Amino acid sequence: MRSTGGDGERREQRCGEPRGAPFRSCRGQAWGLDYTLGLLLFIFTFLLVLGVLLRTVLVRDAFSDVVRSADAVSEQLMTPGYPSSWRAADVITAGLLTENELSQRKAERLAAMADADYDGAKNILNTKYGYSITLLERNSSLIPIGAWCRIGAGTEQKSVANVARASAYYGDGGLKSLVASHNGSLYGAEDLPLLMESLRSYDLIILEEPNLATAARPYDAQKASMLQEAVLRGATLLLVGNVNLTELFALNITAINATDNATGTSANDTLLNLSGATVDNVAGFALTQNGQERYEPLATLPDGRDYAARFTYGDGDVYYLGGLTGTLTATGETLLNHVLASLEPAFSTQLANCSAVSIPSQDVRNLVQVRRLIAFQGRMVLMKVNIWESR
């Protein structure tokens, strides 16, 4: 709109000003509105870009942390752990190696711990993330870990069955028939060198009155070392009577007469099962504790010596029983028959038949898998360590 003042000058009437009002331009107001809209658009774009950048950085940081955790867990598993002969009751860090080879016993212990307390086992593995560990042959077939196909979270396609443990017997006493009934290998005096060469093939070894050293045949350090190696790698060794291996296991063994009685002391033992039992007229030998790891008396004589005891050695367990004579007071059962019945479960173990394992498919992100080759029973096998972040 145009108007002409009384002096003939022209001016523009804008912004809805009334006629006659002093001239005032609206260009300043339009510029202010454009500035405000531009600023809002800039802030919106900035926040959008910032959000994308932050999300990218955070995701990358989370993934990197999972990668670091996967590497750390796999590195830890490639050690003996701490202590090196760890059990569930005293483990600080869980490793799977013994003598630079995969320990089946340690893998089974870790699988059992993870199955009983999945989150608690994270502390043992020093991770805050989800985890699953599997063992495979070079042809990708799964290696069972006791009754499990994996350690940690996941699902399994499997069946579980009782399978015979490889067992060996040396001697000529009351336990020989039991081992024979379970298709165990029997060794006599002339077969002792063959037994010693084959010890790593057995999960359960029973030496009954072996007399591995006598006055005519002094202590045999080589044979003792072979037994030590077998137990170190996870075998269960039952020694009965005069074994003459004091230099190996530091067993201070002394003879006792047939008038002594022995009283069961342990409620945790499952192999000899002498808890609370009183055995009359025991004969044979007794031992005195001398620093064995996790030593526990199973039956004690009145003078404090132990007629039966157990302790650990490396990944394996050693049981000692002074002899098989005597009668249980409460039942009248002979000690021999009691031990025969108690040993029955020791000849079998549960083993999974594995066909497939899968990690949880839901609520999983930043999945990282680390593969490691590991020596196991004279061959190389593959260990897969899966670590992931839960959503």
In the chain the domains, ranked by start, together with CATH numbers, are 28-139+359-391 (no CATH), 191-346 (3.40.50.880)
Q: For residue range 303-351, what is the model confidence (pLDDT) as tens digits?
A: 999 999 999 999 999 999 999 999 999 999 999 999 999 999 999 999 9
Q: In percent, how much of the chain has pLDDT > 70?
A: 85
Q: Beta-carbon neighbour count of residue 374 at 10 Å?
A: 16
How many CA atoms within 13 Å lie on the side-chain side of 209? Answer: 12
Higher-pLDDT residue of 101, 58 = 101
State yes or no: pLDDT of 30 exceeds 80.
no
Q: Contact, 135 vs 383, CB < 8 A? A: yes
Confidence of residue 8 (pLDDT cuts 50, 70, 90): very low
Q: Please tell me the least confidently modeled range out of 4-18, 159-173, 186-200, 223-237.
A: 4-18
Please compute the mean of the pLDDT values over residues 170-186 and round it to a whole number: 95
Give, for 364, the enclosing helix (H) or strand (E): strand 364-376
Quote the percentage of the chain above a pLDDT of 90.
64
Residues 113, 55: Cα–Cα separation, whole Å: 36
Question: Distance between CA atoms of 282 and 279, rounded to whole angstroms?
Answer: 7
Q: Please, are residues 312 and 83 in contact by the beta-carbon 8 Å criterion? A: no
More confidently predicted of 46 and 26 = 46
